[in-house]
Amino acid sequence: MHKRPRIAVYLSAHGYGHCTRTAALCLELASRLDPEFHLRASTPRFLWPQQLAGSTVTWDERPCDVGVVQSDDLTVDLGATRGAIDRWREAVPDRLEEEVQWLRSEAVDLLLGDVPPMAFVAAANAGVPSVAVANFSWDWIYEGMGFETAAREAADAYAVAGLLIELTPAAPMPAFPRRLTVGMIGRRSSRDGREVRRCLGVTDGEQLILPAFRSRAGDFLSLPAPRPGIRYVQPSAVGSSDTRGARSDLVTLGPDVDFVDAVAAADVIVAKPGYGIIGDSMRAGVRLLYTERSGFPEDPVLRAWLEAQPGTAPISPERLAAGDWRDELECLLASPRPQPVGDAPLQAAGEAIEGALTGAAR
């Protein structure tokens, strides 16, 4: 093995959570190993922590899989997903051979994947040890959507992975032969939430609400009527009646406040139940108001887990779109903040990956 271990990081091209939680894990690895990271991901670069800039040596921005295609933040487009999968399956043989040659030419010491199936076949063919990080796998997702061939091929790919680091909450992932269950992981801001609130102009007596949606989708998010003492981070997905000029209770994230900093500063986050935002919320100990998504097989798993957690509450998509969620918001604000998730899950995952590297060097 090289003086600095070379870790190839392959990320699924679906949502932000695969990147954000793997970034948290890579920060843990950076504190242990002084590694080089070589990314293979179409994920937006702004999600990757600035703290990892010095150790991130290369970044190939091509996708490593297709995930699922969404029509908006809350809805899967099954027809478009089927077409994307069919096109990807045609391209995989050539891309797989390219990845095998790249892994060999770069003398990669370990492949870390969250969780594009092709990556683990490439690692096995190149003789590189691999570790998967996941709370669900694409074979399970595709089977639930009726894409049997894609599901079977993904399961076959996962069967050659060296180790699965299983996150909580998890869907069934029987395709992986070896696993270590570590718990919930997420990002943690390096800034004090009170200092971030001051940057946003939020006083100590005010409550800060953070809507966390990726796309512009005024059809599924409207804010409740203004109320003294409650401020909202300017969302990117508000209806026309919720523009900044029409409301005095909105604050805007400037370039000096990252999203993960805003999470730490918030009193309540309003979001879809994706793993990335759940992990960030739980790591920060912030209350979460979550809605439903249509066509996502992992949603029932995530929502069932959230129902048992303190500081969380569901809201229907219809009421979220109508701005009729003041009662749920006030109930959450009156409840204690949940205890933040600690470092133990990330430490356990980091130790396992370090062990995989050490074993490979023998």
Token reading at 275: 């793993």
Largest CA-CA distance found in the chain, in angstroms, rounded: 64
Alpha helices in the chain (DSSP H): 17-33, 78-105, 117-126, 138-145, 148-158, 193-200, 259-265, 275-284, 299-307, 317-322, 326-334, 344-361
Task: Please determine, looking at this structure, whether the domain spanning 6-186+343-361 carries the CATH number 1.10.30.50.
Answer: no
- Best CA proximity match to 358, nearest among 13, 70, 35: 35
> pLDDT tens digits for the chain (362 residues)?
457 999 999 999 888 999 999 999 999 999 999 999 999 999 999 999 999 999 999 999 999 999 999 888 788 999 999 999 999 999 999 999 999 999 999 999 999 999 999 999 999 999 999 999 999 999 999 999 999 999 999 999 999 999 999 999 999 999 999 999 999 999 999 999 999 999 999 999 999 999 998 765 456 789 999 999 999 998 654 443 444 456 899 999 888 899 999 999 999 999 999 999 999 999 999 999 999 988 889 999 999 999 999 999 999 999 999 999 999 999 999 999 999 999 999 999 999 999 999 886 54
Rounded to whole angstroms, the Cα distance separating 269 from 312 reads: 9
Residue 166 and residue 197 in contact, taking contact as beta carbons nearer than 8 Å: no
* Domain layout of the chain by residue ranges: 6-186+343-361, 193-334
> What is the per-residue pLDDT for 291?
95
Name the pTM for this structure: 0.93
> What is the per-residue pLDDT for 241?
42
> What is the per-residue pLDDT for 270?
96
CATH number for domain 193-334, candidates 3.30.70.120, 3.90.740.10, 3.40.50.2000, 3.40.50.300: 3.40.50.2000
Identical fold between 6-186+343-361 and 193-334: yes
Token reading at 51: 């703290």
> What is the per-residue pLDDT for 236?
57
Rounded to whole angstroms, the Cα distance separating 133 from 362 reads: 23
> What is the per-residue pLDDT for 2?
55
> What is the per-residue pLDDT for 215?
60
Q: Position of tokens 């948290």?
A: 24
**Crossing angle (nearest 10°) for helices 78-105 and 117-126:** 20
Residue 50: C-alpha distances to residues 27, 188, 233, 253 (Å): 10, 13, 23, 17
